[in-house]
Amino acid sequence: MRCHASDIAVIGVHRRPPVVDDSVVEKVCSVPELVKSCPTYAIKPKRGNPRSVEIDEEKCVYCGICYSLCEGIRIHNPESDGVSLWVGGKASNTRAGPLFARLVVPYMKPEQPHWSTLVKTIRRILEVYRENARRGERMGEWIERIGWERFFRLAEIEFSEKCIDDWIFSVETFRRGTNFKMSE
């Protein structure tokens, strides 16, 4: 979650459920760990082969947690993967409290090898930040002062209903896994 305290963060995006390789999962992965790891309860022991798992594609949100736990689960897909762009996060300091980064570009498709659209977008954000922010003002502080609507206009980023999660539903989205519930 470190990205949420970043002035600008680029986060990889998966848009397809992982693929399970039974022969690897059976040998090297823990089925209970995998089942427990999924924040949306999409993983369960495989019918007819409880040493492997199956994924409910309707429930999967492509977060990649299971992939990071088990090399028999593969989520990378060069056709559908990409990145999202987040802006305005910071940890607290002596002047002001913390700010969550907000989603400003939900998805950009891969542009190997130079990612020219991503680089152009970040450069534009940095230019308008440099031209408009006050001395010592962090990215998020500057945007909160001028308003997100103005930021999108200045940065020439198209706004969509998917942008700027205000975290109203974070209790639902962050606290569904058993690991979070246990610490409540």
Q: Using CB under 6 A as the criterion, which residues of the chain lie in contact with ligand SF4 when the complex forms?
A: 17-18, 37-38, 40, 42-43, 55, 60-66
- Phi then psi for 75, rounded to 5 degrees? -115, -15
Minimal distance, residue 177 CB to ligand SF4, in Å: 9
Minimal distance, residue 106 CB to ligand SF4, in Å: 17
Minimal distance, residue 24 CB to ligand SF4, in Å: 15
Q: Which is nearer to ligand SF4, 17 or 82 (CB)?
A: 17
Minimal distance, residue 157 CB to ligand SF4, in Å: 27
Q: Which is nearer to ligand SF4, 64 or 110 (CB)?
A: 64
In terms of DSSP bridges, do strands 8-13 and 82-87 run parallel, antiparallel, or are they unpaired?
antiparallel
Q: Which is nearer to ligand SF4, 34 or 125 (CB)?
A: 34
Contact 168, 136 (CB under 8 A): no
In terms of DSSP bridges, do strands 82-87 and 73-74 run parallel, antiparallel, or are they unpaired?
unpaired
Minimal distance, residue 40 CB to ligand SF4, in Å: 5
Which of 105-111's residues contact partners 24+ apart within 8 Å by CB, and which partners? 105/157, 105/163, 106/13, 106/160, 106/162, 106/163, 107/13, 107/15, 107/82, 107/83, 108/82, 108/83, 108/84, 109/82, 110/78, 110/81, 110/82, 110/83
Please report, in angstroms and rounded to a whole number, the separation of the first and last CA atoms in the chain: 18
Q: Which is nearer to ligand SF4, 18 or 82 (CB)?
A: 18
Q: Which is nearer to ligand SF4, 150 or 175 (CB)?
A: 175
